[in-house]
Each structure stands twice: as structure tokens, then as C-alpha cells.
Amino acid sequence: MSIASRLHGCFTAIVTPFTPDGRAVDLSRLEENVRLQAAGGVQGIVPCGTTGESPTLSEEEHALVVEAAVRVGRPLGLAVVAGAGSNSTSHAVHLQKLARQLGADCGLQVTPYYNKPSQEGIYRHFMAVADACDLPVMLYNIPGRAGVAIAPETVERLAAHPNVVAIKEATGSMDSASEIRRRCGIAVLSGDDSLTPSFAAVGAVGVVSVVSNLVPARVAELCRLLAANDFHAALGVHMGLLPLSRGLLSLDVNPVPLKCALAALGLDSGVVRLPLAAASPAAAAAIRELVAAAGIVPARPAVAAAR
């Protein structure tokens, strides 16, 4: 089965667990979390993305995380879409080739950030990556972090390349998602948990989810219901997830609230790397309340976050 045919449903933007001192990746915890995602029934995982704090990883750590995701996840049936983007085209090409070498199914390629390229520059950037090797590309459209969006007409041009197979739409714009679907057949996945049903209504086929780090089975079920056009049942699941979906992305910057929630459940040390900082006591208390209200049961005694 080709990866293009598997890019639907729930893909978890998985966190990168760090040791309590933040100096190293906690590979054993990462492997355990990958197994929990597989047990929850998600379609795949996305290591080394925004949620995985990719800007703070050394290249050696980046490779370790992707290798572990592939080694543990693939035998369990998970597709692995490895973060491989950069605001340097040559570096993005390098990371795409590295993802292929490590056995990933697809590379997640973010819009070049900080540079603020024109649409022609964006097009040439992604084409260089797509031409570099035969690993499929999932575009990542997130203007809130990149400073510039991939316009629908640019997506249409890129979708003509056989290696450009999907787009993670984190614009928050129904107009953008709708226009992309009108223009081409590229697989669209929501980049915002709170918008998954809305995007599905205009043809999106899944979500790259933050919340599924906590409740993979619930988000996977939401995607299955949406694919089956059972919007009544999907609405019930969505409304149950909505407080988590909104809270985890509003109480602090992602992945700070998520790691705080995972620590409360014993699934992470809770440590984030600078320039991110731990959630404030007030935010941490609100996050724990959200987790409790969602009825999520701790996996083991909570691991205290390093302060």
C-alpha cells in the first residue's frame, strides 16, 4: 500500500520526551509513547514537528527520534511522517534525504520561516525538496509560525509533482482549505484539533493532532466517524474533546501545555527546552483540571517536571 493511500485519519504530532535535566532525549519514554499511539489506533505519527520541539534538537537527536519512531512504529502498523523542514532549502533537502535513509514513509516540509519568501520562492523551495529524492512530501502550511502562507494556487502547482502528496493545513482558514480542495486532489489534513470536523466538511481526510498524544483512541474514533459521514456521532466526540483542544493551544504555546498534561499522566517529564519555559503554576493547575474533566486516567504515578 502506498503512503499516499494511507495519509488519512489521525496522525499524532508526537512530543519529544526529554530527561528531567533536559539535556538528552528520553528514548525509552519516546518508544513507550509510540506504542501507546499504536494501541490507540491512530494511523500514524509525526516525529520532529513543532510539537516535537524540532528547533531545539541537534541533528544527532533529530536522527535518533526519527529512527526510534520508525523502528518501533512501523512494525506496529504506524505510518511515520518525519519532520524534515527548514528555512534553508539545502538543509530541507538534506533532512528529507535523511528521513528517507532512516525509513520514514513521508517527510513533513514546513513553509520556510523568517525568510518570508514570495510564492515563487516557496514553490521553488518545495520543488527542490520534492526533486531531491523519492520520499513523498507533506506540505506544512502554518503562517502563524512561518510568517507566510502557501497560497492555494501554489499548492495546486506543487500538487502536480508526483512526490507532493498531502498538506497539513494549519492556517485556521476554511477558505484556504476549501480553495485547495477546489483546485486539486492533494490530501488535506487539518493542523488544528478544534477544526477537524469543519475541515472534514470541505473534504479534508484527517488531522495531524496534538490532543491525540493524550487520547489517541478518541481522536482516531473521531476521524473514523467523519470518514463514515456519521456527523452526529462525530459531533459528540468532538464536543467532548473541544475543551482539551482549545485549552492545550491557548494556555501557553504548544507543546508547553501538552507536556504539562502528559507529566500529570506520568507519560513525560514535562520538561521543555529553552526558549520555551514551563507552564506557570496557574496555567498548570488549569491544564490538570482539563485533564481531570476529560476523564483521562494516569498511566502511572506522575513524573514531576524539573524546575
pLDDT digits (tens, 9 = 90+) for 207-227: 999 999 999 999 999 999 999
Q: How far from 229 is each of 120, 165, 175, CA to CA, in Å?
A: 37, 23, 21
Residue pair 60/29 in contact (Cβ under 8 Å)? The answer is: no
What amino acid occupies position 214? L
Which residues are bridge partners to 109 per DSSP? Answer: 139
Average pLDDT, the chain: 95
Summarised one tens digit per residue, pLDDT across range 43-53 is 999 999 999 99
Residue pair 199/222 in contact (Cβ under 8 Å)? The answer is: no
Task: Record the cell numbers describing residue 289, joined without a space.
Answer: 483540571
Q: Where are the domains of the chain?
A: 3-241
Summarised one tens digit per residue, pLDDT across range 65-101 is 999 999 999 999 999 999 999 999 999 999 999 999 9
Q: d(Cα 242, Cα 245) in Å, to the nearest integer?
A: 5
Residue 289 binned pLDDT confidence (cut-offs 50, 70, 90): very high
CA angle 250, 39, 261 (to 5 degrees): 25
Average pLDDT over residues 246-269: 96
Task: Record the cell numbers describing residue 241, joined without a space.
Answer: 474533546
Task: Provide the 10 A C-beta neighbour count for residue 88.
Answer: 13
Q: Who contacts 54 (Cβ-Cβ below 8 Å, separation ≥6)? A: 16, 48, 62, 83
Q: Is 307 exposed, middle or buried (0-12, 13-18, 19+ CB in 10 A)?
A: exposed
Q: d(Cα 104, Cα 142) in Å, to the nearest integer?
A: 22
246: pLDDT strictly greater than 70: yes
306: pLDDT strictly greater than 70: no
The residues carrying an active-site annotation are: 140, 168
* pTM attached to this predicted model: 0.95
Q: d(Cα 180, Cα 188) in Å, to the nearest integer?
A: 8
Q: What is the pLDDT of residue 300?
A: 55
Summarised one tens digit per residue, pLDDT across range 159-187 is 999 999 999 999 999 999 999 999 999 99
Residue pair 275/22 in contact (Cβ under 8 Å)? The answer is: no
Residue pair 212/12 in contact (Cβ under 8 Å)? The answer is: yes
Q: Does domain 3-241 have CATH number 3.20.20.70?
A: yes
